[in-house]
């Protein structure tokens, strides 16, 4: 069964600290992996997208890694800000590159406190 | 460039009543998606359109849910009759194509069924 599992379910950190969110998947065949940020009351917004051959991609203070062998990904947030408080969703695209279906994780809720 | 537009943003109805959601995708995006998102969960695909054709509606509860995308642009998702368990956020997303293309999400419609 194609699944995407994220951990932790929720996380509280102090402003300025770093954190790492984890994603494990069992989707096969694999097309790409995406990380989305979803603010409360808003739709998800893409942070990064990585294909099989990419093992790291950065977007500002966000750095995603991918290990396609172990089917694991992480999202590292550096020097957190209050505006980073949101839900972070790991999404894996399975199937062919033309018709890949997105399988969403349940998300990690991050709260950054001053 | 305008993003994905959804309306209404919020809707409260009594059970057994009908309800409809509207989505206007980003101009030029041929693929349109409707997702359901329960609190604390990732989005779940209900239906995907390629232009005006529904190419994946396997997760759409067809006894009470219906969708249309006339002329391959705007789309409407309808529930009739609504049940208490339908309370959720309904997200619309669009992309240039399926698979590897980026999906852009609207703000969602939060439905409360009482």
In the predicted structure, residue A102 carries a pLDDT above the cut 90: no
Residue A94: predicted pLDDT: 79
CB-nearest to A99 from B4, B41, B99 is: B99
3-state secondary structure labels for all residues of A35-86? EEEECCCCCCEEEEEEECCCCEEEECCEEEEEECCCCEEEEEECCCCHHHCE
pLDDT tens sequence across A1-54:
789 999 999 999 999 999 999 999 998 888 889 999 999 999 999 999 998 889
In the predicted structure, residue B84 carries a pLDDT above the cut 90: yes
User: Which residue of A lies nearest to B47 if distances are taken between CA atoms?
Assistant: A101
Cα dist. A24→A68, A94, B42 in Å?
10, 14, 15
Best B45, B47, B99 member to test A by mutation, with max A CBs in 10 Å, is B99
């Amino acid at each position: 069964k194609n699944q995407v599992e994220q951990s932790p379910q929720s996380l509280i950190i102090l402003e300025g600290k770093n954190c790492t969110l984890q994603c494990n998947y069992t989707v096969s065949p694999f097309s790409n992996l995406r990380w989305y940020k979803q603010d409360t009351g808003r739709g998800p917004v893409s942070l990064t997208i990585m294909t099989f051959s990419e093992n790291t991609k950065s977007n500002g203070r966000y750095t995603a890694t991918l290990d396609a062998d172990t089917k694991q990904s992480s999202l590292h947030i550096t020097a957190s800000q209050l505006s980073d408080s949101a839900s972070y969703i790991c999404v894996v695209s399975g199937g062919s590159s033309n018709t890949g279906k997105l399988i969403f994780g349940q998300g990690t809720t991050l709260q950054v406190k001053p | 460039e305008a993003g994905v537009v959804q309306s209404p943003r919020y809707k409260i109805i009594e059970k057994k009543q009908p309800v409809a959601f509207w989505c206007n995708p980003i101009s030029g995006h041929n693929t349109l998606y409707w997702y359901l998102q329960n609190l604390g969960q990732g989005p779940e695909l209900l239906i995907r359109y390629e232009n005006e054709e529904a190419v994946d509606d396997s997760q759409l509860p067809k006894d009470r849910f219906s969708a249309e995308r006339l002329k391959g642009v705007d789309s409407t998702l309808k529930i009739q009759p609504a049940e208490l368990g339908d309370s959720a956020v309904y997200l619309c997303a669009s992309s240039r194509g399926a698979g590897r293309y980026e999906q852009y999400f609207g703000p969602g419609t939060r439905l409360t069924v009482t």
